[in-house]
Amino acid sequence: MTNNKDKTLGETLRSQGISRRSFLKYCAATASMMALSPAMIPKIAHALESARRPSVIWLSFQECTGCTESLTRAHTATIESLIFDAISLDYHHTLQAASGHAAEEAREAAMKENFGKYLLVVDGSIPMDNPGYSTIAGISNYDMLMESAKGAAAIIAVGTCATYGGIPHANPNPTGAVSVGDLIKDKPIINVPGCPPIPVVITGVLTHFLTFGTIPELDHIGRPKVFYGQSIHDRCYRRPFYDKGLFAETFDDEGAKKGWCLYKLGCKGPTTYNACATTKWNDGTSWPIEAGHPCLGCSEPDFWDGGGFYKSLSMPTENIAQTAVYAAAGAVAAGVALGAMNKSKKNSAAKAHNKTTIDDLEK
Amino acid sequence: MSASLEKGINALKEQVDSTVAAFFSSCVHCGMCSDACLFYTETGSPASTPINKAEPLRRIWKSEYTLLGRVGKMFGLTAKVDDELLTNWETLVYDNCTLCGRCSMVCPMGLDIALLIRKTREGMAAAGHAPEGLIGATKRAVTIGSPMGVKLPALMAQIGHVEKDTGLKIPLDVVGAEYMLLLSSMEIMNFPEFIEATAKIFDKAGVSWTISTEAFEATNSGIQIGVADIAAELVQRIVDAAEKLQVKTVISPECGHAYMAIRWEGPNLIGKPFNFKVRHILEVLDEFRKDGRLKITGKETQRLTYHDPCQVSRRGGVIEQPRNLINMFAENFVEMPDGGKMNWCCGAGGGVSSNERADEVRLKVFQRKKDQLDEIKPDAIISACSNCRIHLEDGLEEYNMDIPLMSLTETLAEHLAD
């Protein structure tokens, strides 16, 4: 185990039978995925090849394990998954073989050995109402997070629960769930939201960290801009139908069958920033909108409380008050009156028209 | 001698319709049209931003047709249209715009900015703010029948030469002919080869055609200066002649605005549909090609490019046809960057070439065309608009570039198989 840990990533990959050619292909794909210059490809290759596998501690709190399912869901032995395997994942509830005291010892040993250098990955939110709602080995989530965060080089919050509180945080938030960012203010935090997030996004973030030793550029709510910089709507292949005003009105009408825009069925694509439309899911097979379902907006804070998944974004969520109806009627009347005045003005201008001849071109 | 500000303002009021109102109220002032306009890119003058050229019309819409503008007008807050404004805008509306419509293509809000400037010209002309050169051309068009003062005897003389050179009879005033060919005065005076080429092609194609001695002029100065009444009169002459000769199709020659005037504006100007078709010469030639009536021999080996005339390609949609035809004889055809519907204007359409005041600016903005040509370095340029052709020759000379200009119809005729 120790022996394996000292190997560089390049050595590990080669020992697993990964050719240099496919390794470089991975580097090129990562560079283009993250919109880096092609000049960066050799740098990524060099950094990855010579990187000592960094220690990673993975904590799971109030979560459903969907994020882990997503990230480890390698269909075949993809190189992305191997990069993921090739970090030294020293503690992970679901994946580790050890249990009980041995498991906790592994975490403590990894923290001690790599103090200040390890990466801390967190999925799940932290209950602040009563610590008893979620404990591991008798340690409350809050205590475990604070203790593990102390020696971390950076923290990656994975999934909407860890990044923004997610479903546990949804109204009425019975456990007082909060996000990692709500509790930790003195460490760099990369938010990788999504319910669950896209697997390549986390491997991309890891690659970036291994290559540059820094965290990628983040948006105003801590998400890497390369993956969360554009809205689903802007990259959606159904966007031309939106632009033409062609919408599916129900899930089984002609529009739905023809693959028209799902906006009226509640699609949150216009307000959701994520990479689903470009990277897709399951090794690029498909993604929710391609499967005919509106985007739920799962990578946005409080997506669960957004007023109903099937309610269209611009539809009023409450009944319009009577006064608004009167106001609208008044505006229509004023518009008609104004239109009539404009029409008479135009008519009088036409009446005042004298046929222009070539003698009327000069003063 | 009766143009006045009142008439100009009244003309602008007449121009405001739901389209104009929708356009002005949806302009988001993004300024994207400026980069689409060669009069902006080559002069760097913000005043040449296309939508700004329609400012007089915008002010009338604002002050007369919007609630806020009218309230503002009561307190003297809404900007007025006066002679000073129109004087300042004269050069923007007539010298620095060729109505090429490139701005309309890029507007994210879908404004047809070229249309707004065309409408602004209505007010400018009625207020006596049209340029001298265009006024002269318009007067000649109405009184003599051609903006360049070409009379029937001049045409007859050219036809005489052509008949002598080719041995073909040029059919005049033939009742019941399939096609009636119009000519621009530039073709009659500068490029009579066009008449010769058309005669040869039509002879080989075996179709009946004719030229009317009563209405042979294709160009329409009324459109360029912006007086719908005069434009309608000029269109009516062609309609009368076509109806008299009972032709099926009227052919617009190698001239951009003539095609736009007769085909797209024509029926609107006279207020009723035509009972004949209008086609550009390139459309007719491409139909011949499709029907197998064009037999071509020999290839041009030199590097050829095609200059899309704005009113033919961008505003007229005749984009595929010239390429189909060129491919019949060109071995080494190269597209200009931005070729097709986004091609850059030569810089002298829309009445600019009739307006001596604009000579300096039209040659300055030719830099844009030079840049396009420098990128592909063609051996020769083909075009399908005599006005583009004359200005391109001017520009090439000004910039010391030695690239010959060719007419598509003429080049095609040279390659006709016997």
Q: Is B1 on the interface with A (CB under 8 A)?
A: yes
Confidence of residue B357 (pLDDT cuts 50, 70, 90): very high
Q: How far is B153 from chain A (nearest CA, A)?
A: 24
- What is the mean pLDDT of the segment spanning B277-298? 94
Instruction: Say whether the peptide bond before residue A42 is cis (omega within 30 degrees of 0).
Output: no
Q: Do domains A2-228 and A230-336 have the same CATH topology?
A: no
CB contact under 8 A, A361 and B227: yes
The full length of chain A comes to: 363
Q: Is B90 on the interface with A (CB under 8 A)?
A: no
Q: Which residues contact B126 (CB under 8 A, 6 or more apart)?
A: A356, A360, B3, B7, B8, B10, B11, B227
Per residue in B133-189, pLDDT tens? 999 999 999 999 999 888 999 999 999 999 999 999 999 999 999 999 999 988 998
Q: Which residues of A touch B234 (CB under 8 A)?
A: none
CB contact under 8 A, B1 and A352: no
Per residue in B313-345, pLDDT tens? 999 999 999 999 999 999 999 999 999 999 999
Q: Write down the H helix ranges in B192-280.
A: 193-205, 221-225, 228-245, 256-259, 266-270
Distance (Å, whole) CA B158 – CA B147: 18
Query: Helix (H, G, I), strand (E, B), or coil: what is residue B266?
Result: helix
Q: What is the pLDDT of residue A318?
A: 47
**Count of alpha carbons within 13 angstroms of residue B23, beta-carbon side:** 23
Cβ-contact B120, B52 below 8 angstroms? no
Q: How many CB pairs under 8 A join A and B?
A: 60
Q: Is B14 on the interface with A (CB under 8 A)?
A: yes
- What phi and psi, each to the nearest 5 degrees, are found at residue A152? -80, 145
CB contact under 8 A, A350 and B135: no
Distance (Å, whole) CA B250 – CA B245: 11
Nearest to B250 by CA among B176, B177, B181, B175: B181
Q: How far is B128 from chain A (nearest CA, A)?
A: 5
Q: Which residues of B touch A349 (CB under 8 A)?
A: 10, 13-14
The closest CB to that of B4, out of A338, A345, A363, belongs to A363
The closest CB to that of B3, out of A346, A352, A360, belongs to A360
Q: What is the pLDDT of residue A203?
A: 76
Query: 10-residue block means of pLDDT along chain A (363 residues)?
Result: 59 76 79 77 78 82 89 57 65 80 88 91 94 91 95 94 95 94 94 90 79 86 93 94 92 94 94 92 89 94 88 63 77 84 86 86 84
Q: Is B235 on the interface with A (CB under 8 A)?
A: no
- What phi and psi, each to the nearest 5 degrees, are found at residue A60? -120, 125
The closest CB to that of B128, out of A354, A357, A362, belongs to A362
Q: Which residues pair with B381 in a beta bridge?
A: B305, B405
Q: What is the pLDDT of residue B316?
A: 94
Cβ-contact B278, B263 below 8 angstroms? yes
The sign of the dihedral angle between the CA atoms of B341, B345, B346, B351 is positive
Domains identified in chain B and CATH numbers = 5-130 (1.10.1060.10), 145-289 (1.20.1050), 294-414 (3.40.50)
Cβ-contact A283, A240 below 8 angstroms? no
Determine what percent of chain B is predicted with pLDDT higher than 90: 90
Q: Determine the topology of domain A2-228 in CATH.
A: Rossmann fold (3.40.50)
Residue A322 token pair: 């009577």
- Provide long-range contacts, Cβ within 8 A and 24+ apart, for A132-141: A133/A62, A133/A175, A134/A61, A134/A62, A134/A175, A136/A93, A137/A100, A137/A101, A137/A103, A137/A104, A141/A61, A141/A62
- What phi and psi, each to the nearest 5 degrees, are found at residue B303? -75, 110
Q: For chain A, give every domain's residue range.
A: 2-228, 230-336
DSSP class of residue A300? S
Query: Helix (H, G, I), strand (E, B), or coil: what is residue B48?
Result: helix
**Other residues' Cβ atoms within 10 Å of the Cβ of residue A337:** 11
Max Cα–Cα distance, chain B, nearest Å:
77
Type of residue found at A174 = P
Type of residue found at A124 = G
Confidence of residue B394 (pLDDT cuts 50, 70, 90): very high
Q: How far is A329 from chain B (nearest CA, A)?
A: 18
Per residue in B56-76, pLDDT tens? 999 999 999 988 888 888 888
Q: How far is A338 from chain B (nearest CA, A)?
A: 8
Nearest to B120 by CA among B9, B231, B260, B22: B9
Of B382 and A69, which is predicted with more confidence?
B382
Distance (Å, whole) CA A326 – CA A332: 10
Q: Which residues contact B360 (CB under 8 A, 6 or more apart)?
A: none
Residues of A with CB under 8 A from a CB of B: 338, 342, 345-346, 349-350, 352-363
The closest CB to that of A349, out of B13, B130, B142, belongs to B13
CB contact under 8 A, A356 and B125: yes
Per residue in B290-321, pLDDT tens? 999 999 998 999 999 999 999 999 999 999 99
Give Cα separations from B124 to B4, B17, B33, B53 (angstroms): 10, 18, 22, 12
Query: Helix (H, G, I), strand (E, B), or coil: what is residue B293?
Result: coil
- What is the mean pLDDT of the segment spanning B361-385? 95
Distance (Å, whole) CA A47 – CA A52: 10
Residue A251 token pair: 């899930």
Q: What is the pLDDT of residue A317?
A: 45
Q: What is the pLDDT of residue A248?
A: 94
What is the average pLDDT value for chain B, to the nearest integer? Answer: 94
Q: What is the pLDDT of residue A332?
A: 86
- What is the mean pLDDT of the segment spanning B28-41? 93
Give Cα separations from A359 to B5, B94, B135, B138, B165 (angstroms): 15, 20, 10, 10, 42
Q: Which residues of B touch A355 (CB under 8 A)?
A: 229
Distance (Å, whole) CA A348 – CA A342: 10
CB contact under 8 A, A349 and B138: no
Query: Interface pTM (ipTM) of the complex?
Result: 0.76
Rg (CA), chain B: 22
Q: What is the pLDDT of residue A76?
A: 43
Type of residue found at B169 = K
Nearest to B208 by CA among B244, B236, B172: B172
Distance (Å, whole) CA B242 – CA B249: 8
CB contact under 8 A, B11 and A353: yes
Superfamily of domain A230-336: Cytochrome-c3 hydrogenase, C-terminal domain (4.10.480.10)
Substitution target in A347, A358, A359, A362 with the highest count of B β-carbons within 10 Å is: A358
Q: What is the pLDDT of residue A166?
A: 94
